[in-house]
Every structure is written in structure tokens, then in C-alpha cells.
Structure 1
Amino acid sequence: MSVRLTLLFCLLSALLAPVAARAQDADTELAGIRAAFEYGKYAEVLERSGTRIDRGGLSDEQLVDLHELSGLAAFNLQRMSDAERHFSALLRLEPDHSLDPFVVPPPAVAYFDRLKQRMDSELDFLRQERRLRQERARVEAERRERERLAAEEQRRRVESLARQVTIRTVEKRNFLVNFVPFGAGQFQQGRTSLGVVFAASEGALAVTSIIAYFAYEALFETDTVEIEDVLTETGKATLTVRYIPTSRSRQADAWRLLKIGSAAGFYTVYALGVSDALYHHEDQVVTTTIEERPAPPPSTAPTRSGAPSAHLRLFPTSGGLGAGLTLTF
């Protein structure tokens, strides 16, 4: 195990070393050229920067810095052809570049601005080309982002479908409930609105019939009548009579009709409710629902005891890239 890790570390170091060395050399050489410019060694700046540019492997920012230093050095040496060449190359890399007037002398700034004006048509073309490249890059980035989002949505949809569970519920219904009044059959069948209609109608008719019954019974009076020619041991025979006075006959007829009509209406609505419940009756109803299982929690199982592990990580440094290796036993 240790031999493999050592070989892996050596191989990775060998691959990263040239990249880090080149980046460190470029930064070091650029710093040396800048220091030479600050000390007024303009000829050395031109020579070293030209050599470094010819070798290549520089970023656009580094090229802009080298061309700016070389152009200013050539301008200070009055080598105007070299100054124009380096400033032109700088503007082709960065068409909107400007010299800092707080650092660069005014004559050099004025010369740079005149050159920029002479190259105005070329710089406009370069700016347009750069905008087109940026627009293409933006469109491409948006396309990749849309594809990434679509792929992510597709992945989530697939995971959601994989977690879905189909549940079938079988509900058995009692046949005798259909004969219970007040919409019991409709409520059992899940037809709540119609059940409420039957329950309210039958309830109102039943209450009306009960009230009419008691109101009709309240009209009766009780009286005792002697029967002539009939003698008993205690005297004349008597008979208890229950009757409705003639003055209350109209009320009696109204309450009697209301009692009978409401009772007939109750049984009519009840018969309609039973018929409807029987017509829609089903012995069992199967309901299918789809539910989603929760996503499984992330695994928190500890690492198997006694199994070594290695973790390699990369990190930036001032001179390039670094690598670190962590061993766990």
C-alpha cells in the first residue's frame, strides 16, 4: 500500500511540477522586467520582454503588461517604431486600454492616445469582434446551463418516479346502510352533497310532521257525560268523551292535513333516497393513489475499522500549484 501511494505522489508531482515551474518563471521574469523598467534600464526591458514574448505561454494580462512596459521603454529611448509596434499589439489585445496618467508621463500618454485614434477603425472592428465572441460565449454558456438544468430536472423526475409507490385501497360498503334514512346511503358512497339534501329534506319533513301531530292532539278536550236509564251501584252511569270542539274544527283540519302531508312527503323523499342509493350501490370500491417515498438519508456508516484510506488534494500557491496527501489508518 505505501509503495503505491509513494508512486502516485511522485507521478502527480512530476505532472504538476512543469506547470507550476512555468507559472512561477513567468511571474518572476515579469517582476524582473518591471523592476528593470523602474530602474530606467529601458534597453534591457526591450530585450528581455521581446525574448519572453517570443517564447509564448503567457496569458493576455501578462502580454498586455509586457507590451505596455516595452512600448514605454521604446518611447523613452525614442525608438518610435518599436514603441508603435508594442502599443499596437497592446491595443489589439485590449482595444479600450488606457495608460495611467498618474504614473506615465504626459508625452507618452499623448502618443498612445494619438496611436489609438489612428487605429480607431481597426479597434472598432476588434471591439465588434470581441463583442461577438462574448455574445457567442454567453449564448453557449446559457445553452450549457439550460442543458444542465434540463438534465438535472430529468434526473430528479427519474428519481421521483423511482420513489413513487402505487397504493390500492379496497373499501367494502354495507348494503343495509342504503335503507337508513337521512341520506346515509349517499354519505357512504361519498356523494356528500346529495346526502346533505336528503338529510335536510327528510329532517325538515319529520320535524314538521311531529309538530303538526302534537298541535293536532292539543286541540282535543275531555268531558264526562251521564247516561240516562243506566244505573250502577254508585248511581248513574257516566262516559268519558274525548273530542274537538266545533270552534276548532278548522284548526284541526289544517293540522291534520299538515301532519299527513309532511309524513307523506317524508316517506316519499325517503323512498327516493333509498332508490338512488340502491341504484349507485357498489359492494366494494377500489381507489388507487400514488405516493412518493421519502429520499433515503445519506449514509453515516463509519469507515470499516482497520481499512486505511488516502486523500489527495490540490491547492494554489504563490508560485503555482501544490499537492497534499492525507493518510488515514
Structure 2
Amino acid sequence: MRAAALIAPLIAVLAVTAVADATPTQDLDRGRQSFRARDWASAIPVLNALLYPELQLARKEDAIEAHVLLGAAHFESGDTERARDEFEKALQIDPDRTITTLMFSSAAVRLFDQVREEQRGRIERDADRKRLAEAAEKLELYRKSLVVYEARPYYLNFMPFGLAQYTQNRTRVGALFTLSQGITFATSVGIYGYLVGTYGFENSDVPILEGPRVRQLQQLTIASGIAFYALYAFGVFDAIRHHKPRQQVQGDDSLIPKDLLEPTKKPAPNKTSFRDRIQVSPMVTPESVGIGIGWEN
């Protein structure tokens, strides 16, 4: 009896020592066995110790399995949130990982598949946002680097009413010429038209009493006409003085490549498989009927 009493504690100490000296691979196997035995309470602490606070497993495949087993154990224990978290961590390592009902319950498989699809959706959205941000940055850089020059024909300098200045992007000066030339031109033409309409081209039917007033109107017509031509000549001189054969202008979006303006359109995938590259089409000739086979690079 005394010998048995001494042996029992010794066996317990050896068992504890064996557990303490177990390698991470052995602990993973122990967690796997507990999971298969549906002993969630034993599997969770063993698997959790392999992953937290630091990863104890050297092989990527072992780390994925530990996350999946721990997530499934949490799910079977009723903790869906922690199960989702472990499944996400496993899928971050291997986004294409799948599990089957051979080892996991159908409910756990459905949750894992749901987490995988949600993660794929997030990855695609993140990739789209990144692609759009990069496209916007490229578009902005392209616009900044886009330098457009517009040819300025010399004859534009002789356009009246400030049009020459407008073509030089000198809006205020053009407006002054428009106003001044417009007033003098309208005054001269308007009075001349009034006199012709009232007294004829030769003004031979002017009554004697209206002669002084008509003379004043004629003088005003001539003076406003001279003023118009003087302003026109000064406008031409001003336009020639500021003339540039080529002037930089703001480019519009028509000069930008479509792939930069429409970044939402994903590029068509390259045809890499034999099935995608081969093309079969009927061939009909007056003498025969056949099939043509082509190959697309």
C-alpha cells in the first residue's frame, strides 16, 4: 500500500511533465483529437495556447488548421463572434481555404463559407477603391503634365470690336474695345441711316430750316466714323503688339486617354487557356463545306 501511494504522485508528476514538454505539433494533434471527440472545452484552451499571445506553430498549414479548429470549437460552444474572428484569420492566410462536413458540422461549414464570401467581397472592394484612387492620382498627374498649345493666326489681329483681344484671352481689354468701337460704329451708322432714310442718299430734299441740324448730324456721323476707325487701328496695333504665334491653353478631357477617364471599367482578362484562344467557324465554298479552325494570340 505504501509503495502504491508513492507511485501515484510520481505518475502524476510525469504526466504533467510530459504535457509541459509537448511540442506545438503534439499540442495541435491533441487539440485535433479533442475536437474530433467533440470535447470543445478541452480543445479550445489547447488550440488557443498555440495561437496566442504568440504563434507557436512554424508551418503555415498548421496555423491555418489551428485557427479553423479553434473557430469551429467556439462555434459549437455557442460563441459565433469568436468563431467568425478565427475563420477570418485562417482565410487571411489562405483565402481559398475550404472545409467540409467530413470533420465539421454543416452549420460550421455554412458559417465558414459565409465568412469567406464576405472577406472576398471586402478584398474586391478594397482593391477597387485602391484602383480608383490610383487612377484618380494618375489622372490628376496627367492633367498637370498636359501642356496644350494653340496656334494663333496672324489675321486674327485685324478683327474689330475687341475680338482680337478676346482670342488672346485679354477679356477686359477686349471689352473696352467692344464698348468703344461699338458705340462709335453704332452712332455713325445709325445717324447715316437716319439721314438716308429721311432725306435720301444725296440729302437733296433737306428743308432750309432743317439744314443746320442735318449738317450737325452729318458732322457727327463723320466724327464718330473717324473715331471708330481710330479705335479700330489702335485695337489692331494693340493686338499685334501682344500677338503670339503659339499660345498655351487649358487642355480638355478629350485629350486624355479613355483608360484614365473611365477607371471603373476593368481591363478584359487575357486569354490564356487553349479553349479561349481556339476559334472554330464554318467555311462554305461553291465546291464544298467545311470547318475552319483558328488560333488567337
Do both share a fold (TM > 0.5)?
no
| More contact order relative to length (CA 8 Å, sep ≥ 6) | 1
Higher gyration radius (CA): 1
Q: Which has the higher strand share?
A: 1
Scaled by the length of structure 2, what TM-score is found? 0.41
